Structure 1
Amino acid sequence: MNLNPQLLEILACPACKSPLEVDDEASELVCTNTECGLAYSVRDDIPVLLVDEARKPAGAEGPADEATRSATAASGERMGNSEPSSDA
């Protein structure tokens, strides 16, 4: 994975706004906030910073859950759905 170090300095987790760190083995950018901890894939050296596509590490819970629900509800509204889905 070959990401520009200057780019890494300005990227932040879309869910909680914390800095991201590189996980070369998994080709991911991982949120440094232990309560969030979302991992974002990097495809063809392009970070995919989409909360809906982020991988949530086992045992992590907290703000990312709410951010994921908010992002999912917002994308549903953009798609023309007036009611949020009831996944509960």
Structure 2
Amino acid sequence: MAINQELLDILACPQCKGEIRLNDPQDGLICEACRLVYEIRDDIPIMLIEEAKPFNL
């Protein structure tokens, strides 16, 4: 997984515009406020609300 920290610093949740963070397996970006995970496919974050999956904390 090659998500650059600089990219993570500028990305925001498309739904609430809040902070996102990389999950532990580093295959998705988590918005804790919306309780959504945005998948990373082929090193590209899929930042579409309709593609996001719910998660439990």
Fold in common (TM above 0.5): yes
- In structure 1, what is the Cα distance between the partners aligned to 2:23 and 2:2? 12
Query: Structure 1 segments of 4 or more deviating over 3 A?
Result: none
Matched residue, 2:35: 37
Higher relative contact order (CA 8 A, sep 6+): 2
- How high is the sequence identity, in percent, across the aligned residues? 45
Aligned length: 57
The answer to which structure has the higher helix fraction is: 1
Q: Gaps spanning 5+ residues in structure 2: where? A: none
Please give the alpha-carbon distance, in whole angstroms, between the structure 1 residues aligned to 2:42 and 2:5. 16
- Per-residue CA deviations over 1:34-75 (Å, capped at 9, x if unaligned) read xx12100000110000000100124xxxxxxxxxxxxxxxxx
Structure-2-length-normalised TM-score: 0.87
TM-score by length of 1: 0.59
Compare the two structures and name the one with the higher strand fraction.
2
Runs (5+) with no aligned partner, structure 1: 59-88
